[in-house]
Structures are given as C-alpha cells and as structure tokens.
Amino acid sequence: MTTPGKPTAAALTSSTTGREREFHFTSTDFDQVRKLIYDHAGISLAPIKQDMVYSRLARRLRALDLDSFQNYLSYLQSGDNEQEWETFVNSLTTNLTSFFREAHHFDILLKHLQGIKHRPIRIWCSAASTGEEPYSLAMTACEAFNTLNPPVEIVASDIDTSVLATAQKGVYPMERVSKLDTNRLRSFFLKGSGAQAGYARIRPELQKMLSFTRINLLDARLGVQGPFDALFCRNVMIYFDKPTQYAILKKFVPLLRDDGLLFAGHSESFLHAADLFHGLGRTVYERADRKERSQPMYHR
C-alpha cells in the first residue's frame, strides 16, 4: 500500500510521458537528493521536482560515465569531492532573471541612494545569477548620481559558480537586453560587431563597480563585510523552509546599516521574522531594531 500523494518507485522510473527512463530512479534516490541539497545548500525541493532532478542529474551520470543514481550519489559523497558538490548544486538551482525585474524596487532604490550624502555606498546582491540584477543595480546607481562613476560599490554573489562566470563577462545576446529603453542601451552597453555581432557588453565603468564572489547563504560565516546600504535577496528565500529563512535573515541584520533596506521577491514574506525586519510595503524591509522607525511608505 502506498502513501497518498507520494510517488512510487515505479512512477519515478518512468518519465511523465510514460517512456522508460535511461537510468533507474527510485523514490529513495529522489529522497536522498532532496536531503543532500537541503543539507548542503538549504534548498527544499518539493516532491513535484522529481522530473527536474532526474533530467538535470542524468547529465552528470552521462558525463561521469556512471550507470545508476546510486553510483552517482555514492561518488558525490566519497572523499574530497568539492568540485562535484559545486556542480551538483549548480545543476539543481534555478536562475530565472532579467534586467530590472520587479522594476518598482529600482525606483525605490534610486530614491534611497539619492538620500545618502557625502560617503561611499555599498550594496549586496546576494543572488546575482547571470548578472542582470547586479548590473541593473549599477545602472540605477549611475542614474541616481547622473554619472558613470557613482560612489557605489556592489558585491554580487551566488552559490552557482557557472552563472557567476557569465555575470562576470557581462556579455548578453541582444534579445536579453531588447526590452531596455533606448537611453539605457546607449548609456550602459557597447554593441558588438564582427564575431560579437548580436551581442551587447556592459560598459567597463559599470563592471568596475561590481565584485563577484561565491557565497552559500547557509555558511556560518558569509565571507562578506558590512555595512550595506541595501541588500537584495530576491526570489531566493522561496527555496528555503521558514527556520532556514530565519537563520539567514538573522545573519543579514548586522550587515545592514541602521537605515539600510532589504529587498525581497514579490512572492516572499518575512512576517515570521518580524523581530528582525519590519515591512515597509512592496517587499521592502528595514531592520526591526532601527533607532528611528520609518512609516510605511510603499503601498502593496
């Protein structure tokens, strides 16, 4: 007798189209993957992610010439295998992003930056992915100060090293930047020619504002120094359970300035951490222990 809602081994062995899979993939294999990614990266994989897990990790079995998931999972956990752990995490993380995604946040950030006078400004983008978000932050800083050399430093991090490598290059197909307005395209990108035709490169002035580094938000020591005037952690917490979210948010508190802002994704809420962060509306938060509490200024 099977538990209602729990996929059987037979169900996991076949794809959603009914065709037999290349590799045997049981519910035990899937549960083991879920435990490993949770323990290593804090990511809570839902049961409906079984097909995604199979398709992404099957590539690793082929690349390593392994014939079963059990052999792969044994290989992953054998000895000093840091590189494969990195690839394992990279394979199971989703990196959906775009320039100026959730545009209202950048309007709020622009006003926040303009209110800071006569000192260097620091921003942390904790889920940089392929770079669209941190470069959008850099563009916003340039617009706030009307210069390509604003007094702003941006730390761009991610757990996935492969997307960070893309971000560091700062080169994008034209279709990725086509939705930006003409002024931003002219001001912040260089159009490729010859072998680079059909691509656009971020201007070097913006790249100099960014430093890229791998950070696992579960690490006890995050390896990043505060204080920050703004911290973007958007569409990341949805992969963590509430206790893990709380633990990460607790680490964020001392990294933010007293008047710093924390930006979350549109589907994320930190009501369970009200002792740490106070909501200002539209998924923008300030420290709950701020000496002078702000009034809500952004309508949901």
Choosing from 21, 56, 176, 201, the catalytic residue is 56
Q: What span, in angstroms and rounded, lies between the C-alpha atoms of 300 and 296?
A: 10
Residue 159 identity (one-letter amino acid): I
Those residues with Cβ within 8 angstroms of residue 159's Cβ, 6 or more apart along the chain or in another chain = 41, 89, 93, 214, 215, 216, 217
- Locate 146 and state its tokens: 């009307």
CA angle in degrees (0–180, nearest 5) for 245-246-251: 100
Beta bridge partners of 263: 232, 284
158 is catalytic: yes
Active site residue 287: no
- Opening angle at CA 58, ends 53 and 59, nearest 5: 115
Looking at 158, 229, 257, 287, which residue is catalytic?
A: 158
3-class SS of residue 244: helix
Active site residues: 56, 158
